[in-house]
Amino acid sequence: MSWRRALLVLPAPAAALSLWLPWVYHRAAALVLTGLDLPDFVRFMGAAGAPLVRPLQVAFALPLLAAAATLAIAVWSVDVSVWFRAAALAVGVWLVSAAVSPLERTGEFALAAAVVIGVWLAAAVLRPPAAIARWTACLTGMASGLVTLWQFAQAAPAMGTLYGHLTWGVGPWVAAGSVLLGAGVAVTAIVPLLRVRRQRTVS
């Protein structure tokens, strides 16, 4: 069971990591796009003559927001010092700032940061078991990675118009890996429970 528990927590950080990796490669370094670059670039495409795409800004922010919320829950499900928990909250707010610029989108940043702080405080009161933190990391990482991939697929045709030939970077593959890993681990965890339930029903 230990390996499954370890794998359960990986989808959330993997999906978040994918946003710092290149999603679009190009020989010109200035045209290499990370996941964090995509929302602004896609908004720019309309002015550049490509078919206008209206991206869901939150779609590209979800993996970082999910990681921040998961971290806020996780530090209250294990026995660590209050300083470690405070540091985890600071990291969570930093992840929010990476997802939502506090300078350009102050209101949205304040709302997202308040949500993460609220999750941290709720976890401090409820003290969720470690299993809740692991499943939160698995499900939010899988869902946020899937939404980000969907939004990228929606924007890819218009981006190909500008680039001529769109070369995918490693970012989409890492995001896809977070989705597949989350789904695979969830299935391997749920199937034995269903078998036990069926055996109890039969007996």
20-65 confidence digits (pLDDT tens): 999 999 888 888 999 988 877 776 765 555 555 555 567 788 899 9
Q: Which amino acid is at 118?
A: G
CB 179 within 8 Å of CB 139: no
Q: Which amino acid is at 157?
A: P
Q: What are φ and ψ of residue 52, in 5° steps?
A: -70, 130
Q: What is the pTM of this model?
A: 0.83
Q: Which two tokens stand for residue 73?
A: 């829950």
144-203 confidence digits (pLDDT tens): 999 999 989 888 887 887 788 888 999 999 999 999 998 888 888 776 666 666 666 666
